[in-house]
Chains A and B, each alone.
Chain A
Amino acid sequence: AQSVTQLDSQVPVFEEAPVELRCNYSSSVSVYLFWYVQYPNQGLQLLLKYLSGSTLVKGINGFEAEFNKSQTSFHLRKPSVHISDTAEYFCAVTQVGGASKIIFGSGTRLSIRP
């Protein structure tokens, strides 16, 4: 079984500051990792995903994440945030070759201060 832990429920940052949203996972098998973003009153959309290959993956809106197998982490980063990045961010994991069931973390609410 897999599990996902998002260490911060809320992260307040100032506009144009860098941000890191932390995610750790546990699994006894190989996994794919995802970050989804949910803007207010909307559904979830994929931000980026790690499937294989390079451990640094780039997503939409200037976000990137780094897969660290030894630390079982998949932290999300952005060098300079904008007001429009205000949203809730979910880290998720699914088992390679499984039934595509995705396990989501509890979410991190990113709030941007002007």
Chain B
Amino acid sequence: NAGVTQTPKFRVLKTGQSMTLLCAQDMNHEYMYWYRQDPGMGLRLIHYSVGEGTTAKGEVPDGYNVSRLKKQNFLLGLESAAPSQTSVYFCASTIPRRGDASSYEQYFGPGTRLTVT
């Protein structure tokens, strides 16, 4: 199993350009998440999905859109990139099962380093 994979690993954008980050998981997980990591701020949740076709806003959703057309994929879009979106983006997945506390562990991808100039 590849686990959680992210594409691309690195990207440089100019202000105003758009792009899509792809997250894929092969563990049949229901829940998927997008985080951004900035120095001194830990990880902040951008958007998440609790199943195919459903998405919800996290802590810092502005400037991002997401889609979950297939269970195994979770896409993060930047419509008009801004320098403030320079960050490392992590995708994660899990399959919480009611009554199974151990299932709350999230599995992370390797990250995408995005620079907006």
Contact between A99 and B105, CB atoms less than 8 A apart:
no
Q: A43-B111, A102-B106 are in contact. Are A52 and B101 (CB under 8 A)?
A: yes
Closest residue of chain A to B100 (Cβ to Cβ) is A51
Q: Name the one of A49, A94, A99, A106 contacting B42, with C-beta atoms under 8 angstroms.
A: A106
A residues engaging B (CB < 8 A)? Answer: 4, 6, 9, 32, 34, 36, 42-46, 49, 51-52, 90, 94, 96-97, 99-102, 104-107
Give me 26 A-to-B residue pairs in the complex whose CB atoms sit less than 8 angstroms apart, sorted by A's number.
Answer: A4-B42, A6-B42, A32-B101, A32-B104, A36-B108, A42-B110, A42-B111, A43-B109, A43-B111, A44-B90, A45-B108, A46-B105, A49-B104, A51-B102, A90-B42, A99-B31, A99-B48, A100-B104, A100-B106, A101-B33, A101-B45, A101-B48, A102-B33, A104-B35, A106-B40, A106-B42
